[in-house]
Structure 1
Amino acid sequence: HLDHLRNVIGLRGYGQRDPLNEYKTEAFSLFEKLLTDLRHNVTKWMMTVEIQVEVPAPPAPPERLTEVHLDPLTGENAATAGALPSGLARDQREALPISSLPAGWEQTGRNAPCPCGSGKKFKHCHGALV
C-alpha cells in the first residue's frame, strides 16, 4: 500500500498541497488501520479457539541408574578400568573402606592430582568416596 501511495502522492502537488505531509498523514492512517485490523483478527481468533487439555501419561520409572566417570585422556569409563568396584550406588561406595582403593592410592594427599588421571584433585574424585 505504501509503494502505491508513494507513486500517486505526487499528484496532490497539483492541488497546492505538500506531497510529503500528505504522504505522512496517509501512511499514518494506513498504520492505524493495520493495528485495528490486527486487534480485530486476534480477538476473533481468540474467541473461536477451543482449548483441549490432555492429561500427560505418568513418566516411566527410571531403571537402575549407574554413575559413570569418563577419563578425559582415554574416554573410557574409569569405574570399569579397575579404579572402583562397578555396579554400586554412590551411597554404597561412600561406605567403602580405604582397603578397596587400588594399591598405592591410600597415601595420596587430598589436594594431590587423582591417580586415575582425571585431572581433578583426589578429594574431588576418588578421595570423596572414601
Structure 2
Amino acid sequence: MSHTEAFKTYGVKPRNANWSWSARSEDDKVVVVTLWKDEFIGTAGQMIYSRPSRGDWSNGPGFRYFMEDLLWARDHCNGIVRVIVATPKQDGQTRRIAECYPQERLVMRVVDADPVSGAFRLEQTTIGSE
C-alpha cells in the first residue's frame, strides 16, 4: 500500500505526497501520523512511541507539519492520533518507507510534544478513554 493510500484509509489527505508524515481531516477532527514500526516500545495495549529529539529529521516542512499536527491533536482532539505504521528500508543515510499500512486498531495519545527540540511521546490508548 502506498503512503497516500494509507492516509486515504482514514479519510485524510497529506499536504504533500513526498514529504508528509501526518495529515488532518478536512474538519480537523482526525489527526493521522506515520510512525516507524521498529521504534515502538512495549507490548500490545501498552505501546509507547517516544523520541527525545528531532534525531535524523531535517527541519523541513514534513517535520514542522508533523509537530504542528501533534500539537493540534493534543489541544483539539483530546490528544488522539490515528496511526500509519511504516517499515523502513535503509537507502544510504536516509530512511525510506519500504511498506506502510494503516493500523486502525492502534490509537495513540499525545502526552508530550516540543517543536523546538523535536521531542515527543505518544502512549497507546483507546478511543473510549478520551
TM-score range (shorter-chain normalised) is: under 0.3
- TM-score, structure 1 length as denominator? 0.21
Q: Which has more strand, going by share of residues?
A: 2
Q: Which has the higher contact order (CA 8 A, sep 6+)?
A: 2
Which protein is bigger by CA-based radius of gyration? 1
Q: Which has more helix, going by share of residues?
A: 1
